């Protein structure tokens, strides 16, 4: 760990891409290999110190494996492969950003990056190493747990999950980092019931713009189902509230067991949001009319806000409904922040947040979204249709299918 910040530094003139260029042209193959082995990436161990056990994830940016340390204390790790396919040369900037952010963030509720590893550069791989981000292993992800109906969370356990999730968000936001990809699959839970925010592949540092200036961050972030209304309307001057919206979607999912708004397109996602949270008007959200897509997108009119009404049949707990209502607030300026959410009555009334380890000890198999095939099975859907309470008469039939 002491060398983390130097890990990707190489001795001058020894980048993988320039091996074979002028300075090394006169080397024999043997010499070249020796040169790479001896001098390349001196702070970056070889990945064969771990042995792969199973594939546990297939993300947009590469595969994730469960692996085990061969020596030492033989602990389990997760190895996330750095996808180099689109790189002509050098280390991908997106992975560098993820690593820099993970190096900064050290907290009980944030996944711990142990080190970066590489395969040996040999003639068979064209002297190109594969790199892995190596993390402490967590037994489950929340999407995997929620899609297994045998896993039942009590109200106290749901509170514990949300309290840890908000603790993690409070910590990263205090460190001026936006996660930008909140969703159940990116929330890991150890067998001891400790929650870790994971997947900082889309994360970035943020600043509060001074004077009249505005940030111009990329708008195309966050998985559609968890994307907040401001991003869907083209906002580029956003901040921590984007993650708080995701926290609200995840919180509701703790009871509904599947994502609450499963739009197929941005337009449909906005429609679902206004059917749940009410129409977007400058009345409830001053300034919404200035967002780039406000005028060009067709938005449902005269929709009433129904967050509490629609979630109460699932959530039942009144303080829980109130916190959800505050997280799923349209106006990002009015949306509750992590600090205030942690002080909400939900966490300070009986039943108090309770440890998850006892419940999890009944489930010895790891549960990951990737392994839960098919992800949201028909069995799940039937279950949700049963749960969709009689008193709801959705105007649009597609709602039954795609919302809960
Ligand atoms: N430390 C870990 N312990 C256990 N499982 C992990 C760990 N890190 C990641 N995973 C599993 O691998 C999956 C993919 O990892 P991650 O989200 O970091 O990659 P990604 O390629 O960015 O994914 P995506 O693009 O699908 O969001 C996670 O959803 C989780 O199931
Ligand atoms: Mg992910």
Do 270 and 339 fall into the same domain? yes
**Among 40, 141, 181, 199, the one annotated catalytic:** 181
Do 119 and 153 fall into the same domain? no
Indicate whether 115 pLDDT > 70.
yes
Do 205 and 159 fall into the same domain? yes
CA distance 10 to 19: 12
CA distance 24 to 5: 27
**Domain end call among 104, 136, 168:** 136
CA distance 181 to 193: 22
Q: What would the pLDDT profile of 246-278 be if each residue is shown by its tens digit?
A: 999 999 999 999 999 999 999 999 999 999 999
Who lines ligand 1 at CB under 6 A? 56-57, 59-62, 64, 78, 80, 111, 135, 137-138, 141, 185-186, 188, 198-199, 201, 368-370
Give the Å distances, CA to CA, from 163 to 111, 139, 167, 175: 16, 19, 6, 18
Do 105 and 164 fall into the same domain? no
Domain count, the chain: 2
Residues with CB under 5 A from ligand 2 (ion): 59, 186, 199
Work out the percent of the chain whose per-residue pLDDT is above 90. 69
Question: By residue range, what is the domain housing residue 90?
Answer: 2-136
Do 364 and 379 fall into the same domain? yes
Confidence at residue 124, expressed as pLDDT on a 0 to 100 scale? 86
> Which of 57, 75, 76 is the pocket-test mutation for ligand 1 (most atoms within 8 Å of CB)?
57
CA of 333 to the centre of ligand 2 (A): 27
Indicate whether 382 pLDDT > 70.
no
**Domain end call among 136, 153, 182:** 136
Confidence at residue 352, expressed as pLDDT on a 0 to 100 scale? 98
With beta carbons less than 8 A apart as the criterion, state whether 128 and 83 touch.
Answer: no
Atom of ligand 1 nearest to the CA of 112: 1
Higher pLDDT, 330 or 210: 330
Q: What would the pLDDT profile of 82-97 be if each residue is shown by its tens digit?
A: 988 766 667 888 899 9
Q: What would the pLDDT profile of 21-51 be if each residue is shown by its tens digit?
A: 444 455 666 666 565 555 566 778 999 999 9
User: Residue 357 is part of a domain; what is its CATH number?
Assistant: 1.10.510.10
136 annotated active-site: no
Do 79 and 127 fall into the same domain? yes
CA of 290 to the centre of ligand 1 (A): 36
What is the pTM assigned to this prediction? 0.85
User: Residue 56 is part of a domain; what is its CATH number?
Assistant: 3.30.200.20
Do 131 and 245 fall into the same domain? no
CA distance 133 to 102: 10
């Amino acid at each position: 760990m002491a060398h983390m910040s130097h890990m990707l530094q190489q001795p001058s003139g020894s980048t993988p891409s320039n091996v074979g260029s002028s300075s090394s042209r006169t080397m024999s193959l043997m010499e070249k290999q020796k040169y790479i082995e001896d001098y390349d990436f001196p702070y970056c161990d070889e990945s064969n110190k771990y042995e792969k056990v199973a594939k546990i994830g297939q993300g947009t940016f590469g595969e994730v494996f469960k692996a085990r340390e061969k020596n030492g204390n033989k602990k389990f790790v997760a190895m996330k492969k750095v996808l180099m396919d689109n790189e002509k040369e050098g280390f991908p900037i997106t992975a560098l950003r993820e690593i820099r952010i993970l190096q900064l963030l050290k907290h009980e509720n944030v996944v711990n990056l142990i080190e970066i590893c590489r395969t040996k550069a040999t003639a068979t791989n064209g002297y190109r190493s594969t790199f892995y981000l190596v993390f402490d292993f967590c037994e489950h992800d929340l999407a995997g747990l929620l899609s297994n109906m045998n896993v039942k969370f009590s109200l106290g356990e749901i509170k514990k999950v949300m309290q840890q999730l908000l603790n993690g968000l409070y910590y990263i936001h205090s460190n001026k980092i936006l996660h930008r990809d909140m969703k159940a699959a990116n929330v890991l839970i150890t067998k001891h019931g400790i929650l870790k925010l994971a997947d900082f592949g889309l994360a970035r540092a943020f600043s509060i713009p001074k004077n009249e200036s505005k940030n111009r961050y990329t708008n195309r972030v966050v998985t559609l189902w968890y994307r907040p209304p401001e991003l869907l309307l083209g906002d580029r001057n956003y901040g921590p509230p984007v993650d708080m919206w995701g926290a609200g979607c995840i919180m509701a999912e703790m009871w509904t067991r599947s994502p609450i708004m499963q739009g197929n397109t941005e337009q449909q996602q906005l429609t679902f949001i206004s059917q749940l949270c009410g129409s977007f008007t400058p009345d409830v959200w001053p300034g919404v009319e200035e967002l780039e897509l406000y005028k060009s997108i067709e938005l449902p009119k005269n929709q009433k806000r129904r967050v509490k009404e629609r979630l109460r049949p699932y959530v039942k707990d009144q303080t829980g409904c109130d916190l959800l209502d505050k997280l799923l607030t349209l106006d990002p300026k009015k949306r509750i922040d992590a600090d205030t959410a942690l002080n909400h009555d939900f966490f300070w009334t009986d039943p108090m947040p309770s440890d998850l380890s006892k419940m999890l000890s009944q489930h010895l198999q790891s549960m990951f979204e990737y392994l839960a095939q098919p992800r949201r099975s028909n069995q799940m859907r039937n279950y949700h249709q049963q749960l969709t309470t009689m008193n709801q008469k959705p105007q649009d039939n597609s709602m039954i299918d795609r919302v809960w």
